[in-house]
Chains A and B, each alone.
Chain A
Amino acid sequence: MRLPKGRTGCLSHPPLSPPCIQGGRLACALFLCLGLTACDREQRSLNGQPKAETIALANDPRDLSYQENSYQLSQGQRLYKWMNCSGCHANGGGGMGPPLMDDEWRYGGRMEDIVRTILHGRPNGMPRFEGKITEQEAWQIASYVRSLSAQQGQDVLSARPDSMSASEPPTLAERGKVLPENNLTGPKDEQN
């Protein structure tokens, strides 16, 4: 069908009146605003970094494939639950076993140290998992364990866990003041 120059079939109707257009714009704006409110579901700061790397960087070349890797980290998170690490470490907060979300490492906090701890066990309760899980799984768990103290980028963390989770790692904030000494009760007081 041939149309006259500069005109199309649709434009041949008289233009809409200005109030009508304004009303339409207002409705559109309202609709978009409503859409925006639906967007603020999950907010997570991706810039959070531990204040200082509390341990030296690792030497093992396998670190590169397990650290900062979202898949390996989330597999580690599953294994952490499946192998009942929470039984002693309580989602990182610590219980019978030491907490994993602070910046203290009794046996080293590098990936290979954690893997060695998992595979060979440590005195006073940490069981030996060698032969019970594969070495790859130990590396995945180590990757997750390091994320508990925010030693991994916040953008590789997996979605919220379904189970109860620990609070934010203390390593993400400056350490608070240590309590004054007279508030502490220690062996000295007992001697007196």
Chain B
Amino acid sequence: MSGGDGLDGALFNRLFALFLIVSLTMLALVLAFLAAAWFRRGGVRQDGVADENGRASREPLLRALLIGWTALIAIGLIGLTFASFLTDRGMADAIPPDRRTINIIVTAKQFWWDVNYAFDNEPSKNIRTANELHLPVGVPARVTLKSSDVIHSFWIPNLAGKQDLIPGRVNDLVLLPNRTGVFRGQCAEFCGIQHAHMALDVTVESRAQFANWLAAQGKPAPAPASPLQKAGYLYVMNRECSGCHAIAGTAANATVGPDLTHLMSRRSLAAGTLPMGRAGLYAWVADPQGVKPGNNMPYVGLDANELHAVTAYLETLK
């Protein structure tokens, strides 16, 4: 069931139950009509001559039933629309305006999630990460949803219902997690060839843990130490990588691809495609199109030494 551990769990479940009851009632009525028609047909004369008396005697009843049926559909649809409107309003009013919230801007791209923590009062604290959300338990998070290419859908089944991300529009959603844990989010609107590999790792943690995470994410990347890491650093800075990726504290500041500043602190690579680790990094950097065909990271064609160096440097980005 959607939204079980989230803010709108109770409201949403009530709406779902209402829809279920109304739909099942209508289904039962349709089946009843069908059964009645079936049995009535058995009584029709088989020689092809219409049973005039039989029809005439039933027509007023049929008309009344049809009028009733149409009215029932109209009333049912209006009622359900009204109920879903009320639920939507209820969800919007669930967070009092003066309550402290965190603001997150999620931009969906083919095929990953660009996540920005926005602090309106202290913009220097803003954090950019990718394919992961960290949320403090019990604190409402206002999520602003955008898309940069096609329509995606933001869905964390444990926390809230689906919400579309539409290019050129801004949608929003409030998440209020009420228990800690690691949940999976997923793009829920077919968005292209790698739609299935567009996952989002959601970590709900205590406020202290969240504050620690936030502080760690705010730090710039460390300088490379070993000669191999330095070689990797130079490659990343001077070649294709920095054309799309940003690493805080270095000259790489492009915004086309995911921010790599704290790459190794994430749970997975390439939006849930590979587990985070040395093996995954090697596979991904060497041939992204082999691991996730159709994604927008190109095959660069690193030779073995370059691959070792770049991976060694990326492993320092904790």
Contact = CB atoms under 8 A, between A and B. Distances in A.
B69 to A, nearest CB: 19
Interface stretch (A34-42, A130-138, A170-178): A130-138
A54 B17 CA distance: 66
Interface residues of B, number: 24
B46 A3 contact: yes
Contact of A137 (B41, B55, B239, B298): B298
B244 A134 contact: no
A162 interface: yes
A25 interface: no
Contacts of B47: 4
A4 B167 contact: no
Given A82-B256, A134-B298, A136-B298, A7 B239 contact: no
B64 interface: no
B299 A82 contact: no
Q: Which secondary structure dominates chain B's binding surface?
A: loop
B13 interface: no
A170 B244 CA distance: 33
B50 A162 contact: no
A133 B167 contact: no
Interface string B42-71: 001111111000010000000000000000
Interface stretch (A9-17, A59-67, A148-156, A180-188): A9-17
Interface in B28-47: 41, 44-47
Given A14-B50, A134-B300, A9 B243 contact: no
Given A12-B50, A78-B296, A162-B168, A132 B243 contact: yes
A29 interface: no
B50 A83 contact: no
Interface string B230-269: 0000000011101110000000000010000000000000
B96 interface: no
Contacts of B299: 134, 136
B93 to A, nearest CB: 33
A13 B167 contact: no
Contacts of A162: 149, 167-168
A14 B53 CA distance: 13
A131 B238 contact: yes
B240 A133 contact: yes
B298 A132 contact: no
Q: Which secondary structure dominates chain A's binding surface?
A: loop
B37 to A, nearest CB: 11
B123 interface: no
B97 interface: no
Nearest to B147: A162
A146 B296 CA distance: 22
Nearest to B52: A14
Contacts of A75: 296
A4 B48 contact: yes
Contacts of B168: 162
Contacts of A4: 46-48
A11 B299 CA distance: 67
Given A12-B44, A136-B299, 16 more contacts: A3-B46, A4-B46, A4-B48, A9-B44, A12-B48, A12-B49, A13-B55, A131-B238, A131-B239, A132-B239, A132-B243, A133-B243, A134-B240, A134-B301, A162-B149, A162-B167
Interface of A: 3-4, 7, 9, 11-14, 75, 78, 82-83, 131-134, 136-137, 162
Interface of B: 41, 44-50, 55, 149, 167-168, 238-240, 242-244, 256, 296, 298-301
11 contacts: A12-B45, A12-B50, A75-B296, A78-B149, A78-B296, A82-B256, A131-B239, A133-B240, A133-B298, A136-B299, A162-B168
